[in-house]
Structure 1
Amino acid sequence: MTAVQRSYLVAYDVNDDVRRAHIARILQGHGERLQYSVFLLRIRPSKMLEVQASIEEELDSATDSILICDFGLSEQAEQSMLFLGKRGYRDTVIPTII
């Protein structure tokens, strides 16, 4: 197993709120949210296989769509991306009233 990290861009279009939240939670645990449905993961290929398997468990392949782009070695990934405007995305925390 290699310890070299690669960068993956993951974008999703998921119709169901519950499935979408589960997939977002999986990706948040392994990467940086760039936009609402776009994440950048810098992880080992073996870990990416685990993430992919977790996503596939949540996915409804008849209605949902996931795009995974391999940008190669993490050191090279920054050169492959061009950000215009604000970089990054902060999840909105909605207070819960009990």
Structure 2
Amino acid sequence: MKYLVTYDISDNKRRMKVFKLLLGYGINVELSVFEVVLDKSTLNQLVNEIKEIINPKEDAVYIFPYSKEPLRNGIYEGKDYGDLFV
């Protein structure tokens, strides 16, 4: 399945680590936006690797499936933006 991954990471070192990690999974379409094609187990692996890099109190990573479903069905890790996607 295709996913859109976007992130807001405050620290340059962590941001570069996530950028390099995502280069191994997909295509960089914008500065902090990637398109990836993943099966369920690879998606879980990516999420776990992201969790090891980010600071969830300062950073945010969003993973949205490419589908006709609303964006609220995406995966979110990190800084809480409240009810942004509800």
**Band the TM-score falls in, shorter-chain normalisation:** 0.7 to 0.9
Q: Give 5+ residue unaligned stretches, structure 2.
A: 69-86
Q: Deviations over 1:6-49 (max 9, x none)?
A: 01100000000110010011110000001000000012111011
Please name the residue that 1:65 is paired with. 60
Larger relative contact order (CA 8 Å, sep ≥ 6): 1
Runs of 4+ with deviation above 6 angstroms: none
User: Radius of gyration: which is bigger?
Assistant: 1
Kindly indicate whether residue 36 of structure 2 is the aligned counterpart of residue 32 of structure 1.
no
Look up the equivalent residue of 2:46 and give its one-letter code: V
The alignment partner of 1:62 has SS state of: coil
What SS does structure 1 have at the residue aligned with 2:63? Answer: strand
| Counterpart residue identity of residue 66, structure 2 | F
TM-score (norm 1): 0.66
Q: TM-score, normalized by length of structure 2?
A: 0.75
CA distance in 2: counterparts of 1:30 and 1:40, whole angstroms? 9
* Identity between Structure 1 and Structure 2 (%): 28
